[in-house]
Amino acid sequence: MRTRPLKVALLGCGVVGSEVTRIITTQSADLAARIGAPIELAGIAVRRPNRVRDGVPAELLTTDATALVKRGDIDVVVEVIGGIEPVRTLITTAFEHGASVVSANKALLAADGASLHAKAAEHGVDLYYEAAVAGAIPLIRPLRESLAGDKVNRVLGIVNGTTNFILDKMDSTGAGYSEALDEATALGYAEADPTADVEGFDAAAKAAILAGIAFHTRVTIDDVHREGLTEVTAADIASAKKMGCTVKLLAICERARDGRSVTARVHPAMIPLSHPLASVRGAYNAVFVEAEAAGQLMFYGPGAGGAPTASAVLGDLVAACRNKLAATTGAGESAYTQLPVSPMGDVVTRYHISLDVADKPGVLAQVATVFAEHDVSIDTVRQQGRNQGGGDEAATEQDGGPGAPPSGSWGREGGEASLVVVTHRAPDAALSATVSSLRKLDTVRGVASIMRVEGE
């Protein structure tokens, strides 16, 4: 084993960085044996050097991150600060000074991964970021390396623990969104400002990274269609249950059936209880990968937290250190397919639409006609009369072609009814046009919710 240590600079020592420090300092003998040389923490950049940090060698702390990455003797820089700047500049400077970089920064990778990869390649160093997607769960390396000989067609994942906790609470207790969010905040699963999680920005960044790697193309966060879960109601969850489904915030990356384009999106969706992702509870993450030769694979585990995320960081650090010792680099960016990212309107999926309608004869036929006009085929319809105390319900299944009205007696003179329509697969643009037309009908008092149905 080489005795001269590999030098590691740590940028950031918060939730993740403190755990990275702990593992490097407490597991040094094992890490050295696995790498083939000892590693030495050469410096730790933070914002507030006087903050109390248990187990962190105070003499290593500095507020000058730029000077640290410019030292010239650093082999690997571990970046766990987060955000775009000054981190992008720090990482670029590290490459220019010959250091490989390990990052947990999904925001930066999803915004500008291509130019960072190019810089790393230009300087003959590594850029690794396993921790940027789904915390401890090995996902980037399996997609990049283990599945490099296969063809991935679909990645479907729960990649945000906060939103999964909220939806799981709503599902198991019948709570509304605000109540479930309050509980997530009280238990430390949601941040004081939960926007990045509940509006889907965090998951969209991860979807961009996953789609790029899975389909060997370039996808940025701006290419990802994003809808958060703030509009999901207890009624949506109850309606999903009636269909044998649950609601999850999903990141979905798909190769088009003709193979000529890809899509990436994040939105709440109903999935059948029989789907493996339906059983992912609490703040756990899971990613379901469909590959041509491998078939269906599921990756499951803790998607955040200091120690789990540090586990992924350390895996990358060991890989980067081994490459440094061997004077080589790992696989870089693979974007050779250059597939375009199609707009959301081209996505084809199923829909669950809940309408408030006048409770009188002929309404169902009118609604069905609108679906037919837009070539959206109805699978099932369920109606619930409100003026009857909500207990009177009927459902029908049909496959009589686009929009053909189901048989049966639905009319009940008087107040309002709730009509739930589930469609067969249709393009998102056709569904949007259908909903616009439905809103114009006098008998449709409102569109209570629209939710996609996935995983079938």
Ligand X SMILES: NC(=O)c1ccc[n+]([C@@H]2O[C@H](COP(=O)([O-])OP(=O)(O)OC[C@H]3O[C@@H](n4cnc5c(N)ncnc54)[C@H](OP(=O)(O)O)[C@@H]3O)[C@@H](O)[C@H]2O)c1
- Which member of 65, 125, 264, 421 binds ligand X (CB under 6 A)? 65
Q: CA-CA distance, 85 to 216, in Å (whole number)? A: 27
For the bound state, the minimum distance from the C-beta of residue 66 to ligand X, rounded and expressed in Å, comes to 9
Q: Report whether 13 belongs to an annotated binding site.
A: yes
Task: Decide: is 111 part of the binding site for ligand X (CB under 6 A).
Answer: no
Burial class (CB in 10 A: 0-12, 13-18, 19+), 83: exposed
Q: Report whether 227 belongs to an annotated binding site.
A: no
For the bound state, the minimum distance from the C-beta of residue 104 to ligand X, rounded and expressed in Å, comes to 3
Task: Decide: is 46 part of the binding site for ligand X (CB under 6 A).
Answer: yes
Phi, psi of 201 (to 5 degrees): -65, -45
Task: Decide: is 47 part of the binding site for ligand X (CB under 6 A).
Answer: yes
- Which member of 55, 86, 400, 401 binds ligand X (CB under 6 A)? 86
Asked about 206 being catalytic, the answer comes back as yes
- Which member of 283, 304, 318, 444 binds ligand X (CB under 6 A)? 304
Task: Decide: is 13 part of the binding site for ligand X (CB under 6 A).
Answer: yes
Task: Decide: is 80 part of the binding site for ligand X (CB under 6 A).
Answer: yes
Q: Which of 206, 242, 248, 324 is catalytic?
A: 206
Chain residues 186-245 in contact with ligand X, contact rule CB under 6 A:
none
For the bound state, the minimum distance from the C-beta of residue 230 to ligand X, rounded and expressed in Å, comes to 21
Q: Report whether 43 belongs to an annotated binding site.
A: no
Task: Decide: is 453 part of the binding site for ligand X (CB under 6 A).
Answer: no
Task: Decide: is 10 part of the binding site for ligand X (CB under 6 A).
Answer: no
- Which member of 26, 30, 33, 51 binds ligand X (CB under 6 A)? 51
Q: CA-CA distance, 49 to 61, in Å (whole number)? A: 6
Q: Report whether 407 belongs to an annotated binding site.
A: no
Task: Decide: is 57 part of the binding site for ligand X (CB under 6 A).
Answer: no
Q: Report whether 301 belongs to an annotated binding site.
A: no
**Residue the block writes with tokens 């403190």:** 18
- Which member of 21, 105, 153, 217 binds ligand X (CB under 6 A)? 105
- Which of 411, 288, 399, 426 shows the shortest CA–CA distance to 344? 426
Task: Decide: is 175 part of the binding site for ligand X (CB under 6 A).
Answer: no
Count of residues interacting with ligand X (CB under 6 A): 25
Active site residues: 206
Which parts of this chain interact with ligand X (CB under 6 A)? 11-17, 45-48, 51, 65, 80-82, 86, 104-106, 131, 135, 304-305, 309
Q: Which residue ranges make up the annotated binding site for NADP(+)? A: 11-18
